[in-house]
Structure formats: C-alpha cells, structure tokens
Amino acid sequence: MRNIYELDDISKRYGKIVALDDLTLSIGEDSTAVLGYSGAGKTTLLKLLAGLERPSSGTIRFKDTDVTEKNVQDLRRVVTMLFQDPIFFNQSVLENVTYGLRIRGVSKEVAAQRASEALASLRLKGFENRRAAKLSGGEQQRVALARALVLEPEVLLLDEPTANLDPANATVIMEVIREFSKKSLVIVSTHNFLHVKTLTKWAIYLEKGRIIETGATVDLLDDPKEEGTKRFVKGLF
C-alpha cells in the first residue's frame, strides 16, 4: 500500500503554544481516524494536511510531492476539509455548493446540476434557493458536506463532522461519508468511537501534540498498548 501523506518531524507552534510536536507519520490509502482529547492537536493536524496551515518546521509530502511550502494550491484542489462548525458565504445553498466548481471553471449549468445531485444525496432536495446561514445546524452540516463532496476530492478531511448533531442528521452524514470512503481517502477526527470503528481502518492517537499510538482502528480501540490511549479509550483523564 502506498503512502498518500508522509509527515517528517512536523511541529506547529502558535507563539509559545506548541500545537504539534515533532510528528513523523505516514497515512496510506485506508480511511484514518485522528483521536485525542480536546486540545491534543487534531484540528491542527487536519489543517496541515489540508494545506490550510504551514508547519513551523518539518516537511509534508502528498503523493511524493513536497507540499510544505510550495504546491499548496495544487494540494487544496484535491483535498477538502469539512469543519466542525460549518461556515457559509452569505449566499444561497446552491451558490455555496457550486462555489468550488465555479472557481474550477465548471459552467454554471453543470455546476448547478452536480450541486443538486449532491444535495439530493444528503436529502436536501429543494434546498437550493434557501439561504445557507439560516438553515438548522444539521441541515447546515449536510450542505457543507455536499459542498465538499461535489468537488470529488481525493482526500476528505473531517473535523468532528457529527458533533452537536441529532442522531438522524448524524446518521445521514455518516452514511454518505462511508459511501464516499469506498473510493477516496477519508481522514476523520471524532470522539464517536462507533463512527470511528465503522468508518476507519487505521487510527492515530494524539496527546498534547504528540503521537502516542498508531495502529489498526480495532486494535487501538479494543486493545490499546499505551497507557495514554487506554485512559482515553476508557474515557478517563
């Protein structure tokens, strides 16, 4: 199995705060979970993988191409991130979902057609002309997912995609993500172990910006090796 991402001695600091500390990591073609307590550095790691942040030191390679400083724009064209709290342009649902396609030069008609299909797959048929910012939390997250999926990214990064959602919305979202993960790489940060088990094959456990343990998801959750991972899995501080 070839590596999609290779991170070498990655550190990320915000002033005096060390968010990630000397991470060396490979991510292959299997869907991967990034686990850890709040503040462990999960979102920072996802942002680095998305090309939204640059590391303070170290190198990131995506499919053998160095994307640490250069080629970031190329990376962003094939990697899309879904944020925990969805954010929208002050536009309609359709305009939000077609944005990524339009800047890629897709015609308005084709973009609208693809957006409608993506919305329908998330049970949002007929939502095209609604104002995105005025939808409910669950609807917003589904629109945000449609906006990401319509781009057919090679990698989909998900930061707590079902946090604060009711079970019905969470189920719809996870169904669509699971389907998508069959053809593309999905890297997800979530505290929902059930989702982690059903969606991912590989898991990384972070603590205070450091990798504590990596391994097959089932092994890491059911039979963790490190003390920190054991505490986390048992829900202890």
Partner 1 sequence: MSLETMWEGLQQAIHLIVTGDPALVEITLRSLQVSFYAILTASAIGVPIGAVIGLKEFLGKRLVKTIFTTLIGVPTVSLGLFLYLLLSRSGPLGFLQLMYTIQGISIGQALLVIPIIVSFTTSATESRDIRLRDLARTLGASELETSIAVLREASSAIALAVVAAFNRAFAELGIALIIGANIRGLTRVMTTTIALQNAMGETALCIALSIILLVIVFALNILTGNIGAIVNTLRKDY
Neighbouring C-beta atoms of residue 234, cutoff 10 Å:
8
CA 159 to CA 135: how far, in whole Å?
A: 20
The number of residues that bind partner 1 (CB under 8 A) is: 28
> Is residue 51 close enough to count as binding partner 1 by CB under 8 A?
yes
The residue among 53, 56, 51 whose CA lies nearest residue 5 is 51
Smallest Cα–Cα separation from 127: which of 159, 91, 160? 91
Judged by beta carbon, residue 63 or residue 231, the one nearer partner 1 is 63
> Which backbone phi and psi does 82 adopt, to 5 degrees?
-105, 125
Q: Going by DSSP bridges, is the β-strand pair 32-35/185-189 parallel, antiparallel, or unpaired?
A: parallel
Among 134, 166, 218, 222, binds partner 1 (CB under 8 A): 134
Q: How far is the CB of 132 from partner 1 (least distance, A)?
A: 10
Site for partner 1 in 62-101 (CB under 8 A): 73, 76-77, 79-81, 83, 87-92, 99-100
Among 16, 64, 129, 235, binds partner 1 (CB under 8 A): 129
Q: 208 burial class (0-12, 13-18, 19+ CB within 10 angstroms)? A: middle
Q: Strands, DSSP E only, in 63-193?
A: 65-66, 79-82, 155-159, 185-189
Please state the closest distance from residue 53 (CB atom) to partner 1, in A: 9
Question: At its nearest, how many Å lie between partner 1 and the CB of residue 140?
Answer: 13
Q: How far is the CB of 102 from partner 1 (least distance, A)?
A: 10
Q: Which residues 18-37 are close enough to bind partner 1 by CB under 8 A? A: none
147 contributes a contact to partner 1 by CB under 8 A: yes
Binding site for partner 1 (CB under 8 A): 47, 50-52, 73, 76-77, 79-81, 83, 87-92, 99-100, 103-104, 129-131, 134, 147-148, 151
